[in-house]
Structure 1
Amino acid sequence: MPIVLLTGASGFIAGWVLKYLLEKDYTVVATVRSQDKAEYLKSLYPADAKLSFVIVPDIAVEHAFDEAVKGVDFIIHTASPFHFRVTDPEKDLLDPAMKGTRSILEAAKAYAPQVSRIVITSSFAAILDASKGNWPEHVYTEKDWNPVTWAEAIGDNPATTYRASKTFAEQSAWSFLETEKPNFTITTINPPLVWGPMLQKVSPETINTSNANIWSLVNGSLKTIPPARVPLWVDVRNVAQAHVLALEKPAAENQRYFVVAGKYSFSEIAADLAKAFPELASGIPTTADAPDAETFGVDNSKSIRDLGLEYISLDQSVTELTKQLLDWVKENK
């Protein structure tokens, strides 16, 4: 089987990508930021798993991936920050996303001429036009692009900076393809908010940004139900499947995929969780801060047609995540 380089392998999405690659008998070279992360990932798989590691402490450093790409056939690039703890927009979000993407492409062209396809984790953040607000008359597809400017990106809104980081990183990838004309093709995966069970080492105190939304509904920290700022979601397993399928499907060559299961409301999720976990119902809020607004539509038909995705239900995703976190709490009392 071919050799796949997986960057950011200890991340939420990448953890599932790694699992699916190994299940399909790919040989995987995984980049992580530290030896501790490598050791943890090793512990999840049998000793004879076709898995090795390259330590890349900082993906924004020039030539960060030069050694990692050598000898691989495919690349899945997931390494990019997703958080809103921003003190320096360029250093904290923009540089890692943009330079990391450019670095992997430059390294592949220079040192891995045998690489035929690179799959990149982008985001709905690179599709959404936040200036349009709810925009109920519009249906978002892969044809849409976030029109954010650099001046807006380096402003004092962390959400805007994050969306800009994903937009500029993806745009730089397509620009590289056009100007440098490498041997490889590119596919980008553009999910919205990603939920679902976790494979990476995590606890309720260090839970990833997206899943923290669900945990806050059941851990007693919220007294009312918050509005959904961008009410789109997808399960992490579908996102990971999309990355692997994008390596294998001829139709995915030089394509974007809006990988989205559908809309959600926190009121719906709270009601589902109260039903699934009656012992927690008294602590789950029932009053919403505001009624759910009518918002834009979405079209995921391309991901279903080209990749064959079968989307996991909202109820299954959040219930399995919550059970995982509750089990963790019980085991660590």
Structure 2
Amino acid sequence: MAKPTVFVSGATGFIAQHVVKGLLETKKYKVVGSVRNSEKATLMKAGFENNPDLSFVIVRDLAQIDAFDESFKQLGSEIKYVFHTASPVIFDITDFEKDLIVPATNGTKGIFQAAVKYAPNVKKFILTSSFSAVCSIAEENDSSLTLIEKSWNSQPLEEAMGNSVDAYGYSKTAAEKAAWDLHKKLDPKFSLTVINPAYVFGPQCFDSSVKEKLNASCQNINEIVHSNLGDPVKAQVKGSFIHISDLAKAQVSCIENHKLNGQRLILAKDRFSLQNVVDIINAKYPSLEGKITKGEPESAKQAIEGLAKVDNHVTKELLGFPLKTLTEAVQDTVDQILRVEAAQM
């Protein structure tokens, strides 16, 4: 019997690569990943040692509402599961609508509609949204709030357009709402599950991906590793976290865990502040202690106490496996960084 095909959009992204890895490791699926160009496909194919169950299609521009149509027409009835992870995560921009909001929303609408029109055998659609769709920065920092799976970022567009971080949150919120609205409106045969990860820490899928700059979440850890004694610690980096391996495991489990059908999940282990990360690195890596920032260790507790509470017990119960700690997430990130850099010396 032929292996069912899983379509993973934005396959070269930090999260998507781990999802692809998890799918391939089961040896149950063929994976088709969308990439922006053939060079990215070649590199990722090599990273997975030219696994015959992995292939790619080119989708160049998420902002085009029909960007996925050709690929879904081509693959047609082969596709059984869709993982939509593609969405811009960029902050050094000025045109928030063009670079964040339009590609995020059109990308989600486009792939959802393509699945309905051209892939009649899709059983499940798994959307990677973000904790930024659960709450705005202001709501995140309101200690009187308790955030649950039904919470939404309520920041209006006019306010969100003030800076790229808020605009990113709006883009993820708008894209996710579009998916739920389309699922209700089009009433497809497939189920929809939405995963909202917080800060995602952990190793890159390949050592070759360890560069001077990492993905947005892990870059915060990378900057601490390469900081100098006395450097300030970014007070604004605080919230919830998840280990990349737990996030990927949750994604892949959506295929066989039918309890996750129709669910909106918050993938987060605990609250943290960047000071907690600094404390862990100083405690666990004697070779770095005295060379990197110490920050203000006493500030961590106060920073967390100023945040909203997160109650995602529903998600944790549905997943049914324990989530890794901040220490594990930080160490797995730092271990890879130091290992790769030592090999380059």
Number of positions where the alignment pairs a residue of Structure 1 with one of Structure 2: 332
Say whether the 8 Å CA contact 2:7–2:83 is kept in structure 1.
yes
Pairing 1:43–2:46 present:
yes
1:284 shift after superposition: 2.0
Query: Which residue in 2 is equivalent to 1:318?
Result: 330
- Paired AA for residue 15 in structure 1: Q
Identical aligned residues as a percent: 34
Pairing 1:280–2:282 present:
no
Counterparts of 2:140 and 2:216, CA distance in 1 = 22
1:135 shift after superposition: 2.3
1:228 shift after superposition: 4.1
Q: After alignment, is 194-203 or 205-214 more displaced?
A: 194-203
Query: Which residue in 2 is equivalent to 1:102?
Result: 109
Query: Which residue in 1 is equivalent to 2:64?
Result: 61
Give runs of aligned pairs for residues 1-333 of structure 1, distance below 5 A.
1-25=3-27, 26-69=29-72, 70=76, 71-132=78-139, 134-153=141-160, 155-200=161-206, 201-220=208-227, 223-288=231-296, 291=299, 292-293=302-303, 294=305, 295-333=307-345
- Paired AA for residue 137 in structure 2: A
SS, match of residue 79 in structure 2: coil
Closer, same or farther in 2 for the Cα pair 1:196/1:48, shift >3 Å?
Answer: closer
Counterparts of 2:144 and 2:155, CA distance in 1 = 21
TM-score of the superposition, structure 1-length normalised? 0.94
Unaligned runs of 5+ in 2: none
Counterparts of 2:157 and 2:274, CA distance in 1 = 32
TM-score of the superposition, structure 2-length normalised? 0.91
SS, match of residue 190 in structure 1: strand
- Paired AA for residue 7 in structure 2: L
Counterparts of 1:2 and 1:303, CA distance in 2 = 27
Q: After alignment, is 60-69 or 110-119 more displaced?
A: 60-69
Counterparts of 1:133 and 1:260, CA distance in 2 = 14
Unaligned runs of 5+ in 1: none
Counterparts of 2:23 and 2:140, CA distance in 1 = 38
Counterparts of 1:273 and 1:304, CA distance in 2 = 27
1:38 shift after superposition: 0.8
Counterparts of 2:71 and 2:324, CA distance in 1 = 33
Counterparts of 2:164 and 2:297, CA distance in 1 = 23
Counterparts of 2:13 and 2:68, CA distance in 1 = 17
